[in-house]
């Protein structure tokens, strides 16, 4: 394409209003396709989580947005401005007005916390900048450590400073790659909470990479779930959890019970009750995924005559919930081992007969030949 034509195309493309806009993005490392056909938007003030198993391409996509990888195919725009087209414009990371935080965001060891946060700000010695940096440190609970050096801080404190440093230039977009994964569980919960509130308060659009579905649900306004380089489903946490597009989306959010059955009269029989076949063809085999919390369990005094019943194999307290291992009996006599997750302490004895009620809103039916 000639330079003039390319400039015209870029100008025409500069109309997006989304904070981050990625379209038709592919990326290869040698022969290996790391990112394929990705369309993604992050709107102003929105937190979007890139979620997926290890190696699915999350970090590569974030690095493309940051400008740390050169775009090979597709287009990237930030705040309506095209910043990367293959073989054309590639705005370097420092000119993209993005804040970056990584798993181990190395702070400058020879600078104090406050100096780390003001580093890179224009006129960083000025009172205004110091005030601004201190206000950010205050929001993140680190103002008392402003004069400390990084080696005297815990890992969690260092991540808070890294976040303040990334936020200091008031970027339009924050790009966070597994920022909490090196922290222990209790600390992680607190820092996640503080980070979410600070991001919402400053109103930065945010793309956050994580492999942890609970973290994504906690942080995200929307989640983009990736698999093998592609985005499988994008939506609110509720949309992904309650209306998953395929079995991968269901299983990624936690342990599920899986049974199969034949579609008859628009229904599929399972050992814990019939469910709607969701439009699958009559006579076809359905794959039924049942979340453990879909099984409500009530103890029975004795197995009722001529009534299908289930019994307890074992029960374990997991803290906020109990996990009950059940043996459920189908009409044809087949037995299935199912897990029920029930709130609180509920520890029925082994062999206890139980009645199971199925909450069908947490049951998902797919063709058996789907992946």
Binding site for ligand ATP (CB under 6 A): 29, 32, 34, 52, 54-60, 211
Given the complex with ligand ATP, which of 222 and 291 has the nearer CB atom?
222
* Segment holding 329, helix H or strand E: strand 321-329
Q: How far is the CB of 275 from ligand ATP (least distance, A)?
A: 34
Q: Measured between alpha carbons, how far is 113 from 133 in angstroms, rounded to an integer?
A: 10
For strand 257-264 and strand 230-235, is the pairing parallel, antiparallel, or unpaired?
A: unpaired
Which residues are CB-neighbours of 185 under 8 A, at least 6 positions away?
A: none
Beta bridge partners of 48: 207, 222
Q: What angle do CA 341, 241, 309 make, to 5 degrees?
A: 35
Instruction: Tell me which DSSP letter residue 130 carries.
Output: H
Cα 197 from chain centroid (whole Å): 17
Given the complex with ligand ATP, which of 29 and 108 has the nearer CB atom?
29
Cβ–Cβ < 8 Å for 80, 34:
no
CA distances from 152 to 56, 148, 157 (A): 36, 7, 10
Cβ–Cβ < 8 Å for 161, 117:
yes
Q: How far is the CB of 34 from ligand ATP (least distance, A)?
A: 4
Given the complex with ligand ATP, which of 98 and 259 has the nearer CB atom?
98
Q: How far is the CB of 102 from ligand ATP (least distance, A)?
A: 11
């Amino acid at each position: 394409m000639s330079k003039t034509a390319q400039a015209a195309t870029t100008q025409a493309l500069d109309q997006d209003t989304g904070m981050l806009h990625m379209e038709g993005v592919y990326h290869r490392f040698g022969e290996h396709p790391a990112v394929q056909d990705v369309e993604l938007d992050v709107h102003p003030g929105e937190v979007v989580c890139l979620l997926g198993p290890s190696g699915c391409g999350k970090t590569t996509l974030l690095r493309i947005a940051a400008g740390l990888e050169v775009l090979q195919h597709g287009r990237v725009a930030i705040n309506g401005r095209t910043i990367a087209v293959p073989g054309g414009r590639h705005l370097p990371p420092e000119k993209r007005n993005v804040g970056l935080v990584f798993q181990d965001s190395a702070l400058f060891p020879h600078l104090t916390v406050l100096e780390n946060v003001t580093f890179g700000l224009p006129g960083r010695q000025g009172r205004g900048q110091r005030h601004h940096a201190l206000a950010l440190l205050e929001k993140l609970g680190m103002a008392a450590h402003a004069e400390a050096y990084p080696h005297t801080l815990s890992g969690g404190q260092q991540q808070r400073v890294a976040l303040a440093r990334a936020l200091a230039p008031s970027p339009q977009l924050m790009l966070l790659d597994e920022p909490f994964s090196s922290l222990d569980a209790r600390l992680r919960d607190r820092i996640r909470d503080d980070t979410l509130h600070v991001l919402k308060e400053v109103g930065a659009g945010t793309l956050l990479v994580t492999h942890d579905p609970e973290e994504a649900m906690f942080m995200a306004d929307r989640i983009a779930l990736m698999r093998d380089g592609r985005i499988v489903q994008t939506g609110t946490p509720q949309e992904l959890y309650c209306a998953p597009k395929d079995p991968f989306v269901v299983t990624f959010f936690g342990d599920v019970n899986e049974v199969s059955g034949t579609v008859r009269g628009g229904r599929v029989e399972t050992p814990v009750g019939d469910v709607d076949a969701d439009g699958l063809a009559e006579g076809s085999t359905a794959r039924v995924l049942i979340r453990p919390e879909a099984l409500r369990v009530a103890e029975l005094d004795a197995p009722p005559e001529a009534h299908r019943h289930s019994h307890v194999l074992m029960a374990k307290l997991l803290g906020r919930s109990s996990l009950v291992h059940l043996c459920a009996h189908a009409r044809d006599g087949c037995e299935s081992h199912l897990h029920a997750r029930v709130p609180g302490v509920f520890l029925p004895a082994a062999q206890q007969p139980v009645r199971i009620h199925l909450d069908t809103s947490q049951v998902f039916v797919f063709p058996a030949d789907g992946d």
